[in-house]
Amino acid sequence: MRILLIGGTGTIGTAVRKELAPRHEIVVVGRTKGDLKCDIASESSLKQMYEQAGSFDAVIVAAGNVHFAPLEKMSSEQFKIGLNDKLMGQVNAVLIGQHYIQDKGSFTLTGGILSHDPIKTGCSASTVNAALEGFVRAAAIELPRGIRINLVSPTVLKESMSTYESYFRGFVPVEASRAALAYSKSVEGLQTGQIYSATL
Amino acid sequence: MRILLIGGTGTIGTAVRKELAPRHEIVVVGRTKGDLKCDIASESSLKQMYEQAGSFDAVIVAAGNVHFAPLEKMSSEQFKIGLNDKLMGQVNAVLIGQHYIQDKGSFTLTGGILSHDPIKTGCSASTVNAALEGFVRAAAIELPRGIRINLVSPTVLKESMSTYESYFRGFVPVEASRAALAYSKSVEGLQTGQIYSATL
């Protein structure tokens, strides 16, 4: 398969590339570096990336920003950062990409454990991650031409614990290579509308 | 209790008012009519409404618009209608309202069955309803002063079936008076962070 890996230079993206590269052609898409450039928060950037990509069988998105702040101090503008970036960036990757992807292709998006296991300052992240689960369940039943869609919902990564451990006390971290298996299952399997937790 | 009922003139709002009015003081908030006026899609309108409301113990939101369209034809702008209205309208009702509500007060928001049971043309609605579930789970653990928050997730209403039945084939509709009981449980009970389905 030829796979567009958006966020392919990040911690998860690098692990996904390592998992899939032996068996597939990986096109790394990054905001500032990679085979192709794309900022998923921009519709025109997404469209331009798809125009340049040539034929492809799968899209993986492992990118997206969300703002963390205490609920009491969270402004509407701060809350919307995640809606415009991690949520609408991935939604638009599908809304636009459905017109470019090959028959029987697949989209694999990235949510996260906070959808059901919230932490302090994470109410926007919980909202965005849960939203992506709802989107994937709904998009799966409408996508034409045998196109599939799944979500990977990872817990905090071992590789990120030095930065985030004070937020994720008591969470069992997983290695990025474990999370990468969930992307493999989505891309190389046949299921659709699934939420693949990568928490154990 | 003194309860602000946003969307108090709609089908659900009217049923909630009937359920709660015998035991509580209900302030009906509508977009164009009611004791107070408010368009939840506008932050300034929400703030003005709270400034005018005086002291209150509970907020119920039974309002919010979402755009329905086939996934293949859904534009990013159409998708965002629900994010700005039904989602951010209710999120802002909490982000702003938390600074006005009494100690041990409660917020009760409205999602819907499509979060987990999607229909054709409903991918934005599924996204918004799932997002609200994630928000409520997360906000519940951060709200101060004993303030609670829950979500009511109703299925299609019997009273709305004449308009929506072609979208909801095979769904078991419930009467608005049944849905109203879930709002009563949220406001008059003590639980927080709950999703109360009103589907049976």
Strands lying side by side in the sheet with A106-110: A36-37, A25-30, A2-6, A58-61, A106-110, A148-154, A195-198
Task: Tell which residue, A169, A163, A172, A167, has the closest CA to residue A197.
Answer: A172
pLDDT digits (tens, 9 = 90+) for A98-144: 999 999 999 999 999 999 999 999 999 999 999 999 999 999 999 99
Domain region containing B114:
2-198
Reported pTM: 0.98
Query: A122 at the B interface (CB within 8 A)?
Result: yes
Q: Where are the beta strands (DSSP E) in chain A?
A: 2-6, 25-30, 36-37, 58-61, 106-110, 148-154, 195-198
B-chain residues within 8 Å CB-CB of A137? 116, 118, 126, 130
pLDDT digits (tens, 9 = 90+) for B96-153: 999 999 999 999 999 999 999 999 999 999 999 999 999 999 999 999 999 999 999 9
Tell me the two tokens of residue A169.
Answer: 């006390």
Query: A79 at the B interface (CB within 8 A)?
Result: yes
Do residues A137 and B126 make contact, with C-beta atoms less than 8 angstroms apart?
yes
The answer to whether B126 contacts A143, with C-beta atoms less than 8 Å apart, is no
Distance CA B29, CA B31 (A): 7
Distance CA A157, CA A90 (A): 21
* pLDDT for position B40: 97
Q: What stretch of H or E contains B95? A: helix B88-97
> Rounded to whole angstroms, what are the CA distances from B3 to A94, A120, A147, A182, B110?
41, 28, 47, 46, 16
* pLDDT for position B200: 84
Q: Kindly report the three-state secondary structure assignment for every residue of B119-183.
A: CCCCHHHHHHHHHHHHHHHHHHHHCCCCCEEEEEEECCEHHHHHHHCCCCCCCCCECHHHHHHHH
Overall number of domains in chain A: 1
| Residues contacting B101, CB < 8 A, separation 6+ | B56, B57, B58, B59, B107, B147
Distance CA A118, CA A21 (A): 34
Distance CA B45, CA A152 (A): 38
Task: Tell which residue, B30, B180, B128, B14, has the closest CA to residue A138.
Answer: B128
User: In the beta sheet, which residues pair with residue B157?
Assistant: B174
Task: Tell which residue, B200, B155, B175, B177, has the closest CA to residue B18.
Answer: B177
* pLDDT for position A18: 98
Is A188 a residue whose pLDDT tops 90? yes
Is A200 a residue whose pLDDT tops 90? no
Kindly report the backbone phi and psi dihedral angles of residue B96, in degrees, each rounded to the nearest multiple of 5, phi listed first: -80, -45
* pLDDT for position B125: 98
**pLDDT, mean of residues A160-179:** 94
User: In the beta sheet, which residues pair with residue B25?
Assistant: B2
Distance CA B144, CA B148 (A): 9
Tell me the two tokens of residue B131.
Answer: 């997002």
**pLDDT, mean of residues A34-55:** 97
* pLDDT for position A74: 97
Question: If DSSP codes are grouped into helix, strand and coil, which group holds residue A6?
Answer: strand
All residue ranges of chain B with pLDDT < 50 are none
Distance CA B56, CA B166 (A): 40
The answer to whether B76 contacts A92, with C-beta atoms less than 8 Å apart, is yes
Distance CA B5, CA B122 (A): 26
Top residue of B126, B148, B153 to mutate, by most chain A CBs within 10 Å, is: B126
Top residue of B84, B133, B143 to mutate, by most chain A CBs within 10 Å, is: B133
CATH assignment at residue B44 = 3.40.50.720
Tell me the two tokens of residue A6.
Answer: 């958006």
Query: B95 at the A interface (CB within 8 A)?
Result: yes
The answer to whether A123 contacts B138, with C-beta atoms less than 8 Å apart, is yes
